[in-house]
């Protein structure tokens, strides 16, 4: 039997400690810890590529056992479903040479499939309506947020308007949360891939991640966008809800393509780094700019802004 060498054991220990620190920061400090929590899958991804998939599995198992001893079931499920699957699936597809874009797509698809299985198992064993539980959780969060604003001194008509706006937002979230989950998982996987790109040189065999600036969605995706847009006009709530979720996912994909175009022009014209940082800060704070970037990605189908025509995908 071949036992792990000292380096592998140190990587396993370091990866497990780093993952726990990042994830517990996310759980214990919901606002401040959100950013580090996004990178909780990274240690297992990195060491899985460095030492082999078994090391990634071992990190996930160690973290799960520690959480089982210290935390509740909800925290364990949150880790496994939000971080664990990405930690294990993403390096597998990268190691197989699938490239950055396809690796993220396959990883998110697997993650969503597992979520559906868990939801089905919950419904079959508990006899409860998971969708109703999600809606209840959204309403509870809205009520808690409104109470915080009231304690902060917001009263009268201003508080009433705030509650009405939050109620409308909650109703919308209750319809589109499947798309939000899919997009969130893709964001987590994408951010970890971006970090991996920066440290890939430390790996014995760096994976082929592709050039993000060349990213392009399949041209046929525009028909999904058009069909989903028209389907939102159908006078059937079930159809419009499904179409709305599809529309959000599709627009998000074109937003990524728009970012790739902007990155291409930044590199082409040697835009200073501080200007790029300012732009991305505005992008994070200004929703209308986000819509403009998504529109840029859509019109790239006809405008081909990065001519001569580049590779169709990563």
Which of 210, 234, 252 is the last residue before a domain boundary?
A: 210
Which of 166, 193, 210 is the last residue before a domain boundary?
A: 210
Which of 210, 228, 258 is the last residue before a domain boundary?
A: 210
Number of domains in the chain: 2
268-287 pLDDT per residue, tens? 999 999 999 999 999 988 88
Residue 226 in any domain: the answer is: yes
What's the confidence (pLDDT) of residue 239?
Answer: 94
Residue 161 in any domain: the answer is: no
195-235 pLDDT per residue, tens? 999 999 899 988 988 889 989 999 999 999 999 999 999 99
Place of tokens 């081909």: 304
Cα atoms found within 13 Å of the Cα of residue 126, Cβ hemisphere only: 10
141-156 pLDDT per residue, tens? 787 777 777 787 777 7
What's the confidence (pLDDT) of residue 1?
Answer: 40
For residue 264, the enclosing domain spans 211-314
What's the confidence (pLDDT) of residue 115?
Answer: 92
Closest CA to 46 of 105, 3, 86, 5: 86
In the predicted model, residues of the chain with pLDDT beneath 50 are 1-3, 312
What's the confidence (pLDDT) of residue 294?
Answer: 95
What's the confidence (pLDDT) of residue 128?
Answer: 65
- Kindly state whether residues 111 and 38 are assigned to the same domain: yes
DSSP class of residue 307 equals: P
What's the confidence (pLDDT) of residue 96?
Answer: 92
DSSP class of residue 212 equals: G
Q: DSSP per residue over 37-98, as a string? A: HHTTTHHHHHHHHHH-HHHHHHHHHHHHHHHHHHS-HHHHHHHIIIIIHHHHHHHHHHHTT-
User: How far is it, in rounded angstroms, from Cα 105 to Cα 15?
Assistant: 25
Could you tell me the CATH number of the domain that includes residue 81? 1.10.1760
What's the confidence (pLDDT) of residue 273?
Answer: 92
Residue 28 in any domain: the answer is: yes
Residue 142 in any domain: the answer is: no
pTM for the model: 0.88
- Kindly state whether residues 32 and 104 are assigned to the same domain: yes
50-60 pLDDT per residue, tens? 998 899 999 99
Alpha helix stretches (DSSP H) within the chain: 6-28, 34-38, 42-51, 53-70, 73-79, 85-95, 99-126, 130-151, 156-199, 221-231, 237-268, 273-285, 287-303
């Amino acid at each position: 039997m071949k036992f792990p060498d000292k380096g592998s054991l140190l990587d396993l220990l370091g990866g497990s400690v780093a993952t726990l620190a990042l994830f517990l920061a996310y759980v214990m400090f919901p606002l401040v810890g959100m950013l580090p929590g996004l990178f909780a899958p990274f240690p297992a991804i990195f060491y899985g590529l460095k030492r082999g998939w078994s090391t990634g599995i071992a990190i996930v198992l160690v973290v799960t056992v520690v959480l089982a001893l210290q935390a509740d079931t909800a925290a364990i499920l949150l880790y496994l479903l939000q971080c664990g699957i990405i930690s294990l699936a993403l390096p597998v597809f990268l190691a197989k040479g699938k490239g950055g874009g396809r690796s993220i797509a396959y990883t998110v698809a697997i993650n969503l499939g597992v979520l559906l299985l868990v939801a089905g198992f919950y419904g079959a064993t508990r006899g409860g309506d998971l969708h109703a539980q999600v809606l209840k959780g959204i309403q509870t969060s809205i009520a808690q947020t409104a109470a915080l604003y009231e304690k902060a001194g917001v009263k009268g008509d201003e508080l009433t308007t705030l509650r009405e706006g939050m109620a409308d937002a909650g109703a919308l979230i209750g319809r589109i949360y499947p798309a939000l989950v899919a997009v969130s998982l893709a964001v987590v996987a994408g951010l970890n891939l971006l970090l991996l790109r920066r440290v890939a040189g430390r790996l014995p065999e760096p994976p082929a991640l592709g050039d993000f600036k060349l990213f392009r969605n399949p041209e046929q995706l525009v028909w999904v966008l058009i069909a989903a847009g028209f389907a939102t006009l159908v006078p059937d709530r079930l159809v419009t809800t499904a179409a709305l979720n599809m529309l959000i996912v599709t627009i998000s994909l074109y937003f990524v393509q728009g970012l790739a175009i902007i990155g291409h022009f930044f590199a082409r014209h040697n835009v200073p780094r501080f200007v790029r940082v300012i732009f991305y800060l505005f992008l994070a704070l200004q929703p209308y700019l986000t819509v403009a970037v998504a529109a840029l990605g859509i019109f790239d189908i006809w405008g081909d802004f990065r001519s001569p025509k580049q590779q169709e995908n990563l």
